[in-house]
Amino acid sequence: MSLFTEISIPQLNISYKQPVGLFINNKFVESSENEQIETVNPATGEAITKFHAASEADIDKAVAAAREAYESTWSKTSPEERGVLLGKLGQLIEQEKELLAAIETVDSGKPYYTNALGDLEQILQLTRYYAGAADKFTQGKLLPVSSDKYAYTVKAPYGVVAQVVPWNYPLAMASWKMQGCLAAGNTIVIKPAENTSLSLLYFAQLVEKAGFPPGVVNVVPGYGGVAGSRLAAHPDVDKIAFTGSTAVGQKVMAAAAMSNLKAVTLECGGKSPALVFEDANLDEAVKWTAAGIYYNSGQNCTANSRIYVQESVYEKFLLKFTAHVQETWKFGKTSDLFDQECTVGPVVSKTQYERVQGYIEHGKSTEKLSLKQMGQPSDSKGYFITPTIFINVPQDSKLNQEEIFGPVAVIAKFKDYKEGIALANDTSYGLASAVFTEDIRKANYFARDIKAGTVWINSSNDEEVSVPFGGFKMSGIGRELGESGMDAYLQTKAVHVNISKL
């Protein structure tokens, strides 16, 4: 099997060479067992290509390359040098952003104009941010102790970091992890999701072209049970960062603990609430909550999939919400993801399609819930699921308690602040939350009382690269983005200096 394959994207008149090997030591190589994974276009259900899948032996090679690069080269670079390289990487991303977005569209099902290009803009912003932050967030502190002694702290990189990223934001989630980790001075072995590996494999070429030394970044696609498990348990990996389901996050944490007690950052599932109070600007609340559940076809850990509306404005909100969804969140004229009117794409795979449809059928047939559905593209052969709204959903409903991870909104009533905050906190998750009100006191009470790592006031799902992101409870451990996105990859070393005479 060749290490590159020709792929055409006729909608943009693009033809390019797609890397399909493992990227180790700045070279694409075959997997040791020659196992391959077929990746499918979610909009058509048709195969795109096959790529090499890393075995445990391949993971060992990648970790060894990262260790050698760290000890011999990367640990000796200055923060300024790392910032310069990240700046060059940002320039290359800018040059290739249309192609990278197109690869994301074909491989993961993101609408090109209304989703994939936006992801690339965030990746550019994030890369520039960490290019500038590399020499600013690594500083320690001087700690005067007495006239005869002082101490200082040094922020030191972990060394070799493993990263495992999900399929819903293949390149964006990789960038959330990689750029801050590199700025902090670590080397990386990163595993993309097995059904959305193409964009990160292409991105690996830009890392090499920017001038990063061999072994600093290694991209090892493969199956989670093989490649991901080996990374979590590897004795020469100093830290692992994982984004994905809570169930798999628990396995990663257990493997890390039982191997070398490596440090762990986890960003896991969510069932994020949005509270809409009677004094809210309902048009704004409708716009933001609809985007918060239907953007990226609902495949967001932070999706505000539980929408609670104060009973006095509940019916009015429903009318406005339904009309807005019908007008704004749609497949376009056809199921072509390069249609500029397309705002909703397919879910990522047949497995995910069946999972989400299972929840919808459960709500309809088992729980007998009322729902509205917005229509399906007539020519669809892919994994499209119509935007769906379940109304008057009881709190103990499976749809209210479990993460659906699809374009399914669950809407219910609440009476007052006390009941609303209790309903919002009634979950094992705590990733994100939103509140809509014109009362500044009520908004601040909500921010104080909600058990979630992110609170949006009068908006939803509008992350900023300079602001920390992470969860409470079973939604994860640690923070990404902002200064936290570098601090997560740094350890504090304390140095004691005695200047007294004996």
Give the helix/strand (H/E) hosting 432: strand 432-436
Which residues have CB under 8 Å from 283's CB, separation 6+? 320
Task: Taking residues 347-371, report their average pLDDT.
Answer: 97
pLDDT in the model for residue 434: 98
Residue 275 burial by Cβ neighbours in a 10 Å radius (0-12, 13-18, 19+): buried
Task: Taking residues 111-115, report their average pLDDT.
Answer: 97
Task: Taking residues 55-84, report their average pLDDT.
Answer: 98
pLDDT in the model for residue 501: 85
Contact 435, 456 (CB under 8 A): yes
List the beta bridge partners of residue 276. 309, 436
pLDDT of 375 higher than 80 = no
pLDDT in the model for residue 2: 85
Average pLDDT of the chain is: 96
* φ/ψ of residue 114, rounded to 5: -105, 0
Which pTM was predicted? Answer: 0.96
pLDDT in the model for residue 380: 72
Task: Taking residues 97-111, report their average pLDDT.
Answer: 98
**pLDDT category, 379, cuts 50, 70, 90?**
low
pLDDT in the model for residue 239: 98
Q: How far apart are CA 305 and CA 110, in angstroms?
A: 19
pLDDT in the model for residue 334: 63
Q: How far apart are CA 337 and CA 109, in angstroms?
A: 7
pLDDT in the model for residue 502: 73
* CA end-to-end distance (rounded Å), the chain: 71
Note the pLDDT tens digit of each residue in 390-425: 999 999 999 999 999 999 999 999 999 999 999 999
Contact 190, 179 (CB under 8 A): no
**pLDDT category, 436, cuts 50, 70, 90?**
very high
What is the architecture of the domain spanning 58-268+478-492?
Answer: 3-Layer(aba) Sandwich (3.40)
Note the pLDDT tens digit of each residue in 206-236: 999 999 999 999 999 999 999 999 999 999 9
Which residues have CB under 8 Å from 184's CB, separation 6+? 134, 137, 138, 155, 157, 486, 487, 489, 490
Give the helix/strand (H/E) hosting 274: strand 273-276
Q: How far apart are CA 202 and CA 92, in angstroms?
A: 12
CATH 3.40.309.10 holds for 273-464: yes
Active-site residue numbers?
Answer: 267
Residue 377, helix vs strand vs coil: coil
pLDDT in the model for residue 376: 66
Residue 450, helix vs strand vs coil: coil
Which residues have CB under 8 Å from 107's CB, separation 6+? 39, 41, 48, 170, 196, 197, 198, 199
List the beta bridge partners of residue 214. none
pLDDT in the model for residue 66: 98
Q: How far apart are CA 344 and CA 295, in angstroms?
A: 7
pLDDT in the model for residue 333: 65
Task: Taking residues 366-394, report their average pLDDT.
Answer: 88
pLDDT in the model for residue 1: 61
- For CA atoms 472, 297, 304, 429, give the dihedral sign: negative
Note the pLDDT tens digit of each residue in 256-297: 999 999 999 999 999 999 999 999 999 999 999 999 999 999
Task: Taking residues 387-391, report their average pLDDT.
Answer: 97
**pLDDT category, 377, cuts 50, 70, 90?**
low
Q: Where are the domains of the chain?
A: 58-268+478-492, 273-464
